[in-house]
Amino acid sequence: MQQSPVPPEPPIYRRIADGLRRAILSSELRDGDRLPGENALMAQYGIARATARQALSVLINEGLAVPKRGSGVYVRQFRPIRRHGSRRLSREQWGQGQAIWESDTTGRSYTVDNVTIDREIAGDPVARVLNSAEVWIRRRRYSVDGRPVQLSVSHFPAVLVENTAITRHDTGPGGVYARLGDLGHAPAHFSEEIRARMPHPHETVQLDLPAGTPVIVIGRVAYTEGGVPVEVNEMILDAASYVLQYDFDS
């Protein structure tokens, strides 16, 4: 009986990368730990610098490690945020004064920074959806456990939200959706579109993305009970930091 051929042994750089990956996934090496550098790998395995660099590049390309110029390569093992599409937007959430992000983070610490609020001329797509030539725009960045994970840009019809808390830094309990409810325009229906792409340069900087990390782009429109659109929001998510969950009946 003819024996099946024995598969060739993986190249040495791949075996080194496999060992480091196991150490990361078993939590022997934790988020933020420095991986052995090229010199250390060369000495330990008797390999050339190019081979050591290949081994580390495997983990960088997989999103498990991130290089820091002049410092080394570090573990990037972040517990993903579970973004529950319908639960986070339910009226029970913001209607009781809770922030949407409390649903996403489930007790983990989060911060909002880089907040800017401006009245601007609406771009064509937003103007058509909101039927408004001018909009108030809220731009902000969200971080979880100290790591930037999302950029968000919300547009509101200027006349609708003029001189309200939506145009101020602190929107109060429940956020902008609760304030729209105070105005008699509570969101009752949401439509989201999701796509993936590589990040633009400014997104890479603001989200501190390792090379090769894609982003998830979510476009959302909020509608009142009568079908009037009251918000257009574009969110840019670090794809390596999220699990998107949607529950629905058949």
pLDDT of residue 198: 95
pLDDT digits (tens, 9 = 90+) for 122-134: 999 999 999 999 9
Which of 105, 113, 85 is closest to 220 using CA atoms? 85
pLDDT of residue 142: 95
Which of 192, 172, 193, 194 is closest to 183 using CA atoms? 172
For residue 116, list its beta bridge partners: 139
Below-50 pLDDT ranges, the chain: none
Q: What is the DSSP letter of 200?
A: P
Number of H helices and E strands in the chain, helices first, is 9, 10
pLDDT of residue 1: 55
208: its two tokens: 């501190």
d(CA 177, CA 171): 9
pLDDT of residue 2: 61
What is the distance of C-alpha 20 from the center of its chain?
26
- Does residue 225 contact residue 137 with C-beta atoms inside 8 Å? no
d(CA 67, CA 64): 10
What is the distance of C-alpha 187 from the center of its chain?
24
For residue 118, list its beta bridge partners: 137
For 203-212, letters b (16+ CB in 10 Å) and e give: beebbebbee
pLDDT of residue 92: 76
For residue 39, count CB atoms less than 10 angstroms from its CB and return exposed for 0-12, middle for 13-18, buried for 19 or more: exposed
d(CA 238, CA 163): 33
pLDDT digits (tens, 9 = 90+) for 43-88: 999 999 999 999 999 988 877 888 888 889 998 877 788 888 777 7
Entry pTM: 0.77
d(CA 130, CA 148): 29
